Structure 1
Amino acid sequence: MRVLVTGVSGFVGGHLAEHLLDSGDLVVGLSARGVWPKELAHLSRQVRIEPCDLAEASESDLVDLIGRKQPEAIYHLAAQANPQASMADPRGTWALNLGGTLNLLEAVKATGLPLKVVLVGSGVSYGNPGPEHLPVSESCPLRPNNPYAASKAAADLLGIQQYLSHGTDVVIARPFNHAGPRQGANYVLGGLARQVAEVELGRRARIEVGNLDVVRDFTDVRDVVRGYRLLAQKGASGEIYNLGTGQGTKIADALAILTSLARAPIEVYVDPARVRPVDQPLLVADSTKLRAVGWAPAFSIEQTLADMLQYWREIVARET
């Protein structure tokens, strides 16, 4: 299958490109910077990356690009994907997450090509569901509480509107928290794994954490990208599919797993500055709908955290 991946140079985009290549797909990527980061340099041999900022691109340029590449599927991952960063830059977040999606879908419509768009939303768009909505199914009301969540919810609605109004073949994936090797330290598990690696090497005396009582449904990124490809193959047009393990993990328990793997004693300090002003206490997915088309997670949280810690050990060891 010929595929186009927006946001290919990001954390999830890199893993998706690897999975697609392993599955025999021909992959072209879009990235605002148009270059591979060092940790994804190996992909440059098989994946051509095109510079394209979806928030700024004209429809004619996008139509030309899609027409030249002739993809059978587009995976739309390009986004400002950090909720905390969205609080600092709401306008930029909306411009890319909603405006970029509108630019892409309008270009897809204009080409008239029979292709499928896998539009990646976010489970945080559900906000802070009441106990009657847990675990969270696709019928749960959307109550986003930060610009990232709101802009992703709006992009989902845009995808549904494009399907209903124009017949665009859009399927929406709504992943919950995910993690895995190469995840940045600006995300909770990536940050904890990096800090543990730094303590092991004597680079810091302790690790600093925020709210450890938060419960999240963490899915390994390698399972997440398998779900995306499955939706490109079997997802129903105009439908939304939650993607998550269905199991909640308290941050304190994830930290306990990491400290049990550590090669040195770990002192933990709760830093009030790391506690978010808006933090859902519990968010767990009901992914029954996605499981019905053949998806199931393969990685345990223990394996995910072990792989993340090993990744950060290698990164920290190379730093001077």
Structure 2
Amino acid sequence: MARYLITGANGFCGRHLAELLSNGDDEVYGISRSIPDILTISHPTVIYEQCNLIDHTSVFNILKKIKPECIFHLAAESSVASSWKSPINIMNNNVISQINIFEALRELELPTRIVIAGSSEEYGLINESDLPVNEKCCFNPLSTYAVSKVSQDMLAYQYYKSYNMDIVRVRSFNLTGPGRPPTYALSSFAHQIAQIEKNKSKNVISVGNLDVKRDYTDVRDAVKGYYKVALNAKPGTVYNLCSGKAYSLRDLLNILISLSTAELSIEIDYSKHRPSDLPVMQGDNTKIKSEIGWMPEIEIHKTLSDLLNYWRNYLV
């Protein structure tokens, strides 16, 4: 039996990881700035604690209390769009919180394994000739969010090398699935369709740039990947977590529309376009498949269907 700690337990990935881990006999703890009642109801075997990761004393005290054998560090401000509006907030939340965890573990002398959740945004501007991108690719970040994740990634490597800490890194490409907030493209599309079906809005789906192509993985597959990495990865290693396929947002929107019986039209909102954006991002998952034994299992049509049904059930 192991003792796991999930940071960002109230987040999209955190909730799905808690669901996965709580099905076993392990001790599972979750920390977040706020703990809504729905978390304790949904996962009654998970022990939830409030913790402000920006505050070193708060982090030190919670780690001293729990003494986790493995930390899944998922907590982060994860919106690329919001990073254009609040770059200082993004850097503080994503970088300082991770340093606080590392320093508290060093002070407590805990031999904890730490799985750091990175992002494909770290790779940034990539020539299409270099796709699919593997773990050896250089970083060319195009947003403050991406810079913050590069900082987390490099800090993880530095603490592993400098202090021999048991740290592994996972660079997740785009994740989606039930529970994804509507601030993200696919969930926004599904949310709008569900609203239209329930006559809560006019029959128009507002979209941004549909011409980009992204590598999507179902969040339920992704958290299985985090877990397998925690069990099997060597300290200091890094893995892409991705489907290995590039999907056009336009094609994925058309799949969602095909799942609805409502009459729908599309309207482009140019305010949703980013100051800089990648035309294509596709990952190479060869390393995680061969070394860890993980590969995605949930087909994209099911992911989109489950996402749309999530919003249909959520909206009353």
TM-score calculated relative to the size of structure 1:
0.95
> What is the distance in 2 between the residues matched to 1:118 and 1:149?
18
The equivalent residue for 1:233 is 231
Unpaired runs of 5+ residues, structure 2, are none
Task: Find the counterpart in structure 2 of residue 291 from structure 1.
Answer: 289
The question of 1:75 aligning with 2:88 is answered: no
AA aligned to 2:149 is K
Rounded to whole Å, the distance in 2 between the matches of 1:210 and 1:166 is 44
| 1:193 counterpart (190, 194, 203) | 190
Once the two structures are TM-superposed, the CA of residue 63 in structure 1 deviates from its matched residue by 3.0
Q: Measure how far apart 1:37 and its partner are.
A: 5.9
- Alpha carbons 1:217, 1:246 under 8 Å: kept: yes
CA–CA separation in structure 1 for the residues paired with 2:25 and 2:146: 33
Tell me how far apart the structure 2 counterparts of residues 238 and 132 of structure 1 sit (CA, whole Å). Answer: 28
For the residues of structure 2 that align with 1:190 and 1:37, how far apart are their CA atoms? 23
| Residue 49 of structure 1: how far off its partner (Å) | 1.4
**Which residue of structure 1 aligns with residue 303 of structure 2?**
304
Instruction: Report the more deviating stretch, 90-99 or 267-276.
Output: 267-276
Tell me which moved more, 48-57 or 252-261. 48-57
1:280-305 deviation line (CA, Å, top 9, x unaligned)? 11001111111111001011110000
Name the CA distance, whole Å, in 1 between partners of 2:118 and 2:236.
Answer: 13
The aligned counterpart of 2:166 is: 169
Three-state SS of the structure 2 residue aligned to 1:283 is coil
How many angstroms does 1:156 deviate by? Answer: 0.6
* Equivalent residue, structure 1, for 2:13: 12
Aligned to 2:140: 143
Partner of 1:282, secondary structure, is: coil
What do you get for the CA RMSD once the two structures are aligned? Answer: 1.2
Distance 2:15 2:42 in 1: 8
The sequence identity of aligned pairs, in percent, is: 38
Corresponding position of 1:36: 36
User: What does the per-residue CA deviation read over 1:76-132, in whole Å, with 9 as the maximum and x for residues that have no partner?
Assistant: 011111011111111111011011101111111222222200011111110021123
Q: What is the TM-score normalised by the length of structure 2?
A: 0.96
Aligned length in residues: 313
One-letter amino acid matched to 2:50: P
Partner residue of 1:261? 259
Question: Which of 277-286 and 42-51 deviates more?
Answer: 42-51
Kindly report which structure 2 residues correspond to 1:210-221, keeping only aligned pairs within 5 A, or say none: 210-221=208-219
Q: Which amino acid aligns with 2:133?
A: V
Contact 1:6 1:29 in 2 (8 A): yes
Tell me the residue number matched to 2:44: 45
In the other structure, the counterpart of 2:63 is 66
The AA in structure 1 aligned to 2:248 is: K
Q: 1:24 and 2:25 equivalent?
A: yes
